[in-house]
Amino acid sequence: MTTVEIISGSIAFISLCLSGYVAYRTLVQKFFGKIWLSQAIVLTHIDTTPSLGLACFLENKGAQPGYLEDIRLVVKHIQSGTQYMFYPLLTRDDYSIFESYATKDWFPFSGFYLLPKDKASKYILFKPSNNQFNAQHGNYHVELEVRWDDSKNWTQMPQHMVIEINPEMQNIWNDPASPSYQVFSNHILANRMS
């Protein structure tokens, strides 16, 4: 074999491999859903219960459609060790803490269907599972767990955040007459200070 034939054969082989990979990614690859949260949490109320509002970003990197069946936030008060589960109740495509929304402005949460190579952003209101949540001052560790496509198991996502609630924020969050209040994660606040 000559050098020209070796180079031509190598280029053809590499082209074939790349074509196969591209075909797999665009036609065959199974649903590959990802979700992550904004690093800002809205302290709000649903039916007088202290609740959370979050922007969620979803993506399907696969070539097949898929479904985010359920989502929850595991919220742990670090100082007391108390753990709460917050579940989605309402969702919409946009949100502002400076607006007042009526119930008709929201949609009930029923999961999210993602088409191949699809991206979406949603604003979700989460309510504590027992409706008896009472905010305390201190640090809260927030973790995201999801269930994809009829799975019976919750999958913990790698993203988490810590927010600090001072006594003033505690009072605002516990008072159902108070307006919504946005809190940034300690990670974001630390980066702003540096």
Residue 27 has pLDDT above 80, yes or no: no
Q: What is the pLDDT of residue 143?
A: 95
Nearest to 43 by CA among 35, 51, 32: 51
Q: Which residue has the higher pLDDT, 32 or 17?
A: 32
Other CB atoms within a 10 A radius of the CB of residue 136 amount to 16
Please tell me the distance from the alpha carbon of residue 173 to that of residue 111, in angstroms, as a whole number.
Answer: 27
- Of the two residues 18 and 66, the one the predictor is more confident about is 66
- What is the pTM assigned to this prediction? 0.80
